[in-house]
Structure 1
Amino acid sequence: MSNPTAPLTLTEGNFATAVLENPNLTLVDFWAPWCGPCRMVGPIIQELATDFAGQVTVAKLNIDENPHLATQYNIQAIPTLLFFKHGQVVDQVVGVASKRSLTTKINTLLAQDNLTTQAA
């Protein structure tokens, strides 16, 4: 049984559907298993998936297994966290970030989306 609050594992096969066609805010963690800083961010990504379940899609993409996507999004260093809305990158964080700073960023992006929705 899969954990509904676990980060979604992305591949080149499901990226378009899970991220680009997703109207919700989506956080994608570009990482690799050999990356020490990525292993530091991993538990934070897991916590964010739980904390924002139902509001934000939280996903992980292994760049070693999906090099085309890493190249497409010009990933120069890992971890890189890209924030997507309606298939477009709206923000990014490169390197290790605290849970507090990521939570603030997510809340800001969600608030912007809510303002846009209310204005429409």
Structure 2
Amino acid sequence: MAMEITAENFEEVVLKSTKPVVVDFWATWCGPCKMMGPVIDQLAEELAATAVVGKVNVDEQQDLAARYGVMSIPTVVLFKDGKEAQRSVGFVPKAKLRTNLGL
């Protein structure tokens, strides 16, 4: 299961992580986000040893969404060493998402 990421834990979980971090920016009302949810949860299980996988609810964390320029959801961002390394927008099947993110 992907962890919940908020403004309170973002720095510790994402920016200071020694592992790559996959962040799914989503909202409860978003149809493609609902389709993406199980994909993100599967990635969280599959990558547990090598990466951190989390979700940011853009309705609850508007400042984080704005800080990272999230204009459409779902947006999945890969962070490495605290910096954005890759980004994928819209629903993407798991295999393609892993390829897009280099995981």
TM exceeding 0.5: yes
Q: Percent identity over the alignment?
A: 41
Query: Which residue is 2:59 aligned to?
Result: 64
Query: Which residue is 1:90 aligned to?
Result: 85
**From 18, 21, 38, the counterpart of 1:23:** 18
Q: Which amino acid aligns with 2:9?
A: N
Checking the alignment, whether the CA contact within 8 Å between 2:33 and 2:91 is kept in structure 1 is: yes
Query: Which residue is 1:79 aligned to?
Result: 74
Count of residue pairs brought into register by the alignment: 103
Q: Any idea what the Cα deviations from partners look like across 1:5-47, whole Å, max 9, x if unmatched?
A: x111011100000000112110000000000000000000011
* Consecutive aligned runs of 4 or more in structure 1 exceeding 2 Å deviation: 103-106
- Structure 1 vs Structure 2 CA RMSD: 1.0
Q: How many Å separate the matches in 2 of 1:8 and 1:34? A: 19
Q: Which amino acid aligns with 1:90?
A: A
User: In structure 1, the residue corresponding to 2:99 is in which secondary structure?
Assistant: helix
Q: How many Å separate the matches in 2 of 1:93 and 1:10? A: 18
Q: Any idea what the Cα deviations from partners look like across 1:59-87, whole Å, max 9, x if unmatched?
A: 00000000000000010000000000010
Unaligned runs of 5+ in 2: none
Report the structure, 1 or 2, having the larger helix content. 1
Question: Which TM-score applies when normalising by structure 1?
Answer: 0.82
Q: How many Å separate the matches in 2 of 1:16 and 1:103? A: 24
Shift of 1:97: 0.4
